[in-house]
Amino acid sequence: MSTPKPDPVEHPTHYTGHPSGIECIQITEHMGFNLGNAVKYIWRCDLKLDAIEDLRKAKWYIEREIAKRETRAN
């Protein structure tokens, strides 16, 4: 039996390769947009070539979420 070919659309390896066996979307679909994207970039940072870039993207989404919540609180 051959190994299934990776599917970059339905199940990309940088989302399915986590040691937990859980796919990123199983977690992030229960979050808002900004927090879900932050988790997505943190989740995959060590599964892609440029971890620092993905961590910066996560930080960008977290800062956006903080600004949104601060605006709502005022």
Q: What is the Cα–Cα distance from 56 to 41, expressed in whole angstroms?
A: 9
Residue 24 lies in a domain: yes
Q: List pLDDT tens digits, range 20-64.
A: 878 888 899 999 999 999 999 998 888 878 999 999 999 999 999
Instruction: State residue 44's pLDDT score.
Output: 87
Instruction: State residue 70's pLDDT score.
Output: 96
Residue 8 lies in a domain: no
Residue 19 lies in a domain: yes
Q: List pLDDT tens digits, range 4-18.
A: 566 777 777 766 677
pTM of the model: 0.75
Q: What is the Cα–Cα distance from 44 to 38, expressed in whole angstroms?
A: 10
Domain that holds residue 57: 14-73
Residue 6 lies in a domain: no
Number of domains making up the chain:
1
How many C-alpha atoms does 13 have within 13 Å on its Cβ side?
7
Instruction: State residue 61's pLDDT score.
Output: 98
Instruction: State residue 20's pLDDT score.
Output: 81
